[in-house]
Amino acid sequence: MTATGTGTGPGPAAGTGIRLTAPAPGWSIAADVVVVGSGVAGLTAALRCAAAGRRTVVVTKARLDDGSTRWAQGGIAAALGDGDTPEQHLADTLVAGAGLCDEAAVRTLVTEGPDAVHRLIGTGARFDTAPGSDEIALTREGGHHRRRIAHAGGDATGAEISRALVEAVRAAGLRTIENALVLDLLTDADGRTAGVTLHVMGEGQHDGVGAVHAPAVVLATGGMGQVFSATTNPAVSTGDGVALALRAGAEVSDLEFVQFHPTVLYLGPEAEGQQPLISEAVRGEGGHLVDADGTRFMVGQHELAELAPRDIVAKAIMGRAHEQGVEHMYLDGRHFGAQMWESRFPTILAACRSHGIDPVTEPIPVAPAAHYASGGVRTDLRGRTTVPGLYACGEVACTGVHGANRLASNSLLEGLVFAERIAADIAGTPAPEATPNSTPADGPDPTPATAPDPARATAPSAPRTALPLLAPDTRTAVQRIMTAGAGVLRSAASLARAAAELDRLHREATAATGRPGRAEPAGATATGIATTPAAGSAPTPTDPKAPEPGVEAWEATNLLCVARVLVAAAQRREETRGCHWREDHPDRDDALWRRHFRVTLDADRALTLHTTATADFPPTVTP
């Protein structure tokens, strides 16, 4: 069931006691800070923490250079050009956010952004420059009234930023644990962060389930695009950070605002998984959106035409396709010529040609696909969540910058700026004393006999409850349910079907453990994280089909968790705002809905949803 309320809501987080079903850690290391993720946010936070003298460990799900950042094409937005100002950048961001941006967070982003970009350049990132000049070349993207997007390699900005940061991390000698899926947060007896458990895939210095003990954990795990069938996100984007935070008792907000990028290469109605992105910069350089007849349908719909904010363009594409009974529209850049395609957009050109489409001679078929989570784990301006010692930055976080719809190319900047702020907050905290029974992060690997017992780092006031795991093949079922019921276009009926189907998947997983769940109270909805075994007990599989703990089962379980939160929030928000589009409530309603939802997971796996009194977020930390 889902409880709802208004006003300030709960105080400081209390751990749920819920954990993923997993073997006990067989190894552990100690650090001052553990950063989970290796995109722009994670590696920036790690470098700054290490520079401040903190023993820092980076945990990443794949290789160090294989996060979402490397897939970013367009660039990074900042007021770097002549005549541009942070105030103008602020204004564009607030408009795109459709009334739900936290203005203080946006002001922080746009005022600190230019210097942060210059520090990134100092770290080694090389941006494209104007011909015959050392000045950074700037382009435009949707929602921006000025050229303020710095890019690299034409359309390979993320790859260049990732290269520079990875090289800096390796040069600094930071300890990294690659191919490691984070499982759950460890807390001490006072409910403060004490590290994470994780599973290392394959052989190496560590393997299997272990623990990194640290008083500060920075979540920079990226997004949750894999909750939908078609997405621009890589396969690793399974909402692991949001799910971990929920189990730890942290608040999440704005999860209903999933941005569907309007121009993703259309590969057919059955296409699933990561899809090729056609950067907004193509439209910024003069590309036209047209229908099959060659008509530019965005002209007259918005003052910026093809460069309207993404939610408006995505809705226009869907609307025109519906009118004409087709599945996609076209992006026409034939007038660029071969030289411009090859020099400015080499990545996109190669991707299109690999699928038999040549943008030099034909329009590109495009349709919206899941791209970016505007919401996430709620933080303040210092990146602090509602769990002491737990920080979040990048796409996993909800800083309040994006509101109901992210402005193009603000994501890399947000990761950069708020990662630096997190590191400054951690550096301003007295360094922790060494734990006597912990092995230092730069020391020899502990053996199981000498490793700290993770059970000591778990608050005794919150008995651990093992969460039933989903079978790996359930991942596809979750994606198809979400695509059909909670995609670009939503309604009460579609969301109710999605909620019921997700609830069925959860009940089936619980039944496979052989432990019956509690009955739902009368009037309960299907949006809860229902049923719980006896407190402190682990499920005992009785069905031979019950999944064994492993990466695919953990990912599927995390996807179901974030999917149910997204659907619950989307059901509650009975309006259309930003990238949340309700066909049964087509208008924006500021009187009722210019506010945020703050969602937490209870110990019985039910959701509690509180509504803020205004568009402003309350503090995450009690003074």
The catalytic site residues sit at 310
CA 605 → CA 69, 387, 481, distances in Å? 32, 18, 21
Distance between CA atoms of residues 84 and 326, nearest Å = 40
* The one-letter amino acid at 303: E
Distance between CA atoms of residues 461 and 575, nearest Å = 40
CA 526 → CA 503, 564, 575, 586, 612, distances in Å? 6, 9, 20, 24, 23
Cβ atoms of residues 149 and 76 within 8 Å: yes
Q: What are phi and psi of 208, to 5 degrees?
A: 75, -165
Q: Could you count the other beta carbons within 10 Å of the beta carbon of residue 456? A: 13
* Chain centroid to CA 118: 25
Strand 376-378, strand 252-253: pairing: antiparallel
* Structural tokens at position 515: 């432990």
DSSP state of 610: E
Number of H helices, E strands in the chain: 14, 26
Distance between CA atoms of residues 243 and 600, nearest Å = 11
Distance between CA atoms of residues 141 and 149, nearest Å = 7
* Coil, helix or strand at residue 515: coil
* Structural tokens at position 411: 């994501």
Nearest to 506 by CA among 571, 464, 567, 462: 567
* Coil, helix or strand at residue 139: strand
* Chain centroid to CA 229: 16
Distance between CA atoms of residues 362 and 326, nearest Å = 18
